Amino acid sequence: MNISYHGPAVIDDPEKFEFRDFVRNAVGLEVQRVFYFNKRLYIVDFETLHGIVEDKFIVVEIITYSAFTEVDGYRRWIIYHNHDDSCEYTDRVNMLRGDTTIIPVVKTGDRFVRKLEEQIEKGRFRTQ
């Protein structure tokens, strides 16, 4: 049986946010992590579909939602304080409270982020 791989394919153009709105979006979506690449932070949600078509096993990776914001460099954490509606992009976690959300930032250049980077460089993204 042959295997055919397609993707990652992007369903919709990525959304560009200001940093504060990006963080609110990440918290609202309950993301487990965001990705850093080339002075940008990314939220990437994807699905992997597979099936058999004409004696071929087909695998398709689809980016179902993506968003990004521009930052000045890599830091390890995003900290969001819900009560104050304030956020930090930092290397240190301190002053934890009951209303604090911590989102790790993963430095990567994986195929999903590279695909989104291609689209952004071509000007194919939505703005708020």
AA identity, residue 49: L
Retrieve residue 47's tokens.
């699905």
pLDDT, tens digit, 9 for 90 and up, residues 57-110:
999 999 999 999 999 999 999 999 988 889 999 999 887 888 899 999 999 989
Whole-number average pLDDT of the chain: 93
The pLDDT of residue 55: 86
Taking the whole predicted model, whether its pTM rises above 0.85 is answered as yes
* Residue in the block written with tokens 């819900």: 82
Mean pLDDT of the 8-14 span: 92
